[in-house]
Amino acid sequence: MDTSSHHASETLRQEIGSTLIATSSARPYVTALLVVGLCTAANWLLSFWLATTNLAMVYLLGIVLVAVRYDRGPSITAAVTSVLAFDFLFVPPVFTWRFGDKQYLITGFVLLVIGIVISTFATRARVASQAALNAQEERLRNSLLASISHDLRTPLALIAGSASSLRDEKSKLSEIEQRQLIETMYDEAQHMSAMVSDLLDMTRLLGGHVVLDRQWYPIEELIGAAIERCRSQLAEHRVHTRLDPELPMLRVDGVLIEKLLVNLLENAAKYTPVGTRITVAAQRVRDRVDISVEDEGSGIPPGIEERVFEKFFRANPEGSVPGSGLGLSICRAIAEMHGGRIDAANRPGRGAVFVLTLTAEQPPAIEPT
Amino acid sequence: MTAELPLVLVVEDEPKMRRLLRVTLESNGMRYAEAVTAREALSKAQNQRPDVVIVDLGLPDRDGTDVIRDIRRGSITPVIVLSARAQESEKVAALDAGADDYVTKPFATGELLARLRVALRHGAAHVRGETRAVFEVRDLRVDLLQRRVTLRSVDTHLTPIEYRLLTTLIRKAGQVVTHGELLRDAWGPAKADQQHYLRIYMAGLRRKLEADPAQPVYLLTETGVGYRLIDE
């Protein structure tokens, strides 16, 4: 996944969030009144030092803050109440609604106009960013659809073709051929299933609705669970682990970190020759922990170490290895949700290494039992 | 139990999934009964006295978890959950409601059959009122009467908590045991939400029983759900 677009979508999501706050009924008005109240309190103290006209500046600040965040209604409310409070409490004669000096009428009018103008511009900007977010989601949806139709068509064709051969021409097929067709159907169905769950994971993670269920995990348990989960895919490789003896526990969402490690292991199994070694290692580096998956394959073509994490990017799209092109972008999304990072590199001798870096926090105290 | 073939009640609303299960079960020496709705499931679970029930969590008329709770109320028949959802919290909810194990769709029939065998074995032992005196799998042997744990015939010393965790897992050998259940059994209700205690002690247990604790063969992790001790 591209980092900058991730951050952009994050900012946009926050924008949308504030728009939602702005459109919800009473709260903005209450906030507007609170801000005016605070300005009044500040002015009450400042009035001993500042000229009356300058107190209007404090109200102006409050109005601007309200106007940037909310729609016109709360902004006008803030402006009007500011003018009234200013007039009643600070404009001589105080504690009357009369303007002793007519100049303060202009001050009040300006406050009102500024409130309206700024809220109008701010609302327009929010609408524009909402539109930008919609456009971005639209693009993602389109590329998802394109990917689904393209990548699912191949396994579907193989399944349908094998099934129709078995149905219509069973008598002409040898026992071995029948067996091969059945194997094809099973394998392709597995690929489709994996692809669909990748797509679901990705949309779920990007939708921003995932709340991390952070718990303390021993690192060896996370690694062990991931290896166990893809045991059948790893059956033709030699899997080794190399763990520092004194590793700290990590406070992570175990299900998601397992998913990340499973994706890395499945990738290693898919793209490296049968019989080669896959090593899962973990080591502490100061206040961080590096968990890496090393393989003995042909490595990553130079120059695309960063691109492999992009959505739908595949190093060899026409190759025979099936995949959604989402596995590594899911890994990156999960790493970033944890405030960590994931990087790919080639090892000095041979093969690729993917390193997940997470921060080690102070572990919880354990009472002896 | 008589020499009769075991009866499996399948609670599933999808006709093609029922057909697949029927073929799988009948070709593997089991009898098949089916229920399409929650109501039908409850009446058949009571009247036909199945040896094991397979429940799909996505039923049209009621939540699968409620169905499990109702079946559990009337009998001790083992329940295996079949679920397309990969949400760990739903699996835990089904297990807490009384299910004995789960299989996630899409599943390999081999996995389902293995789960069924374990459930049938537990169900039969329960009916006969058997309690295991010795648990043995691969190189691990636990004598539950003498409280003696041996690995490749060598005595292994466990702390009292580690031993309690192990016996809870043995009681449900082959089936998943949730974090909550293990915590309650080993520490009592006070620490029921302190999952890190459990993880630390399970790590200790693995260091004593597993050749490579990062690639366990006896004590498997079901992340987000619990642990499973293998039994075959």
H/E stretch holding B103 reads: strand B101-104
The predicted model gives A340-368 an average pLDDT of 90
Which amino acid is present at A68?
V
Q: What residues of chain A, 168 to 227, have a C-beta less than 8 Å from chain B? A: 189-190, 193, 197, 213, 215-218, 220-225, 227
- Does the beta-carbon distance from A280 to B214 stay under 8 Å? yes
Percent over 70 (pLDDT), chain B: 98
Give me the phi and psi of A186, to 5 degrees please.
-65, -50
Radius of gyration (C-alpha) of chain B in whole angstroms: 18
Per-residue pLDDT at B100: 95
- Does the beta-carbon distance from B214 to A224 stay under 8 Å? yes
The predicted model gives A148-165 an average pLDDT of 86
Per-residue pLDDT at B43: 92
Exposed (0-12), middle (13-18) or buried (19+): which is A5, by Cβ within 10 Å? Answer: middle
Radius of gyration (C-alpha) of chain A in whole angstroms: 31
Give me the phi and psi of A291, to 5 degrees please.
-115, 120
- What pTM was estimated for this model as a whole? 0.75
Which amino acid is present at B151?
L
Distance in angstroms (rounded) separating the CA atoms of residues B56 and B8: 13
Take residue B163 and report the two structure tokens written for it. 């031993």
pLDDT digits (tens, 9 = 90+) for A110-131: 888 888 888 888 888 888 888 8
HSE of B80 in the Cβ direction (CA atoms, 13 Å)? 27
pLDDT digits (tens, 9 = 90+) for B152-199: 999 999 999 999 999 999 999 999 999 999 999 999 887 777 889 899
- Does the beta-carbon distance from B196 to A249 stay under 8 Å? yes
Query: Strand pairing of B219-222 and B226-229?
Result: antiparallel
Give the number of A-B residue pairs with CB atoms closer than 8 Å: 63
pLDDT digits (tens, 9 = 90+) for A12-35: 444 444 444 444 578 889 988 999
Nearest CA in chain A to B159: A369
A interface test, pick of B185, B221, B225, B230 with most A CB neighbours within 10 Å: B221
pLDDT digits (tens, 9 = 90+) for B30-70: 999 999 999 999 999 999 999 999 999 888 888 889 999 99
> CA angle, A134 as apex, A132 and A136 as ends, to 5°?
70
- For A225, B155, B204, B229, the CA distances from B208, given in Å and listed in that order, are 18, 11, 7, 15
B interface test, pick of A182, A204, A221 with most B CB neighbours within 10 Å: A221
pLDDT digits (tens, 9 = 90+) for A89-99: 888 888 887 77
DSSP letter for B212, please. S
pLDDT digits (tens, 9 = 90+) for B116-132: 999 999 988 888 888 78
DSSP per-residue codes, B142-194: EETTTTEEEETTEE----HHHHHHHHHHHHTTTSEEEHHHHHHHHH-GGGTT-
Q: Residue for token digits 């926090």?
A: A361
The C-alpha torsion from A299 through A304 and A310 to A314, rounded to 10°, is -60
Take residue A98 and report the two structure tokens written for it. 């009369």
- For B58, B84, B113, the CA distances from B134, given in Å and listed in that order, are 39, 36, 25
Distance in angstroms (rounded) separating the CA atoms of residues A327 and B123: 41
- Mean pLDDT, rounded, of chain B: 91
The minimal CB distance from A258 to the residues B200, B216, B223 is found for B223
* Residue B140 C-alpha, separation from nearest chain A C-alpha, in angstroms: 19
The residue count for chain B: 232
Distance in angstroms (rounded) separating the CA atoms of residues A252 and A274: 32
- Does the beta-carbon distance from A366 to B196 stay under 8 Å? yes
The minimal CB distance from A228 to the residues B86, B199, B221 is found for B221
| Helix residue ranges per DSSP H, B37-176 | 38-47, 64-74, 88-96, 109-127, 160-171
Nearest CA in chain A to B187: A369
Asked whether the predicted pLDDT for residue B86 surpasses 70, the reply is no
Distance in angstroms (rounded) separating the CA atoms of residues A310 and A313: 5
- Does the beta-carbon distance from A216 to B213 stay under 8 Å? no
- Does the beta-carbon distance from B223 to A255 stay under 8 Å? yes
The residue count for chain A: 369
The minimal CB distance from B200 to the residues A239, A243, A366 is found for A366
HSE of B229 in the Cβ direction (CA atoms, 13 Å)? 23
Contact B39, B60 (CB under 8 A): no
Distance in angstroms (rounded) separating the CA atoms of residues A91 and A5: 51
H/E stretch holding A242 reads: strand A238-243
Asked whether the predicted pLDDT for residue A209 surpasses 90, the reply is no
Task: Give which of A336, A344, A182 is closest to A252, Cα–Cα.
Answer: A336
- Does the beta-carbon distance from A220 to B202 stay under 8 Å? no
Task: Give which of B56, B51, B53, B22 is closest to B37, Cα–Cα.
Answer: B56
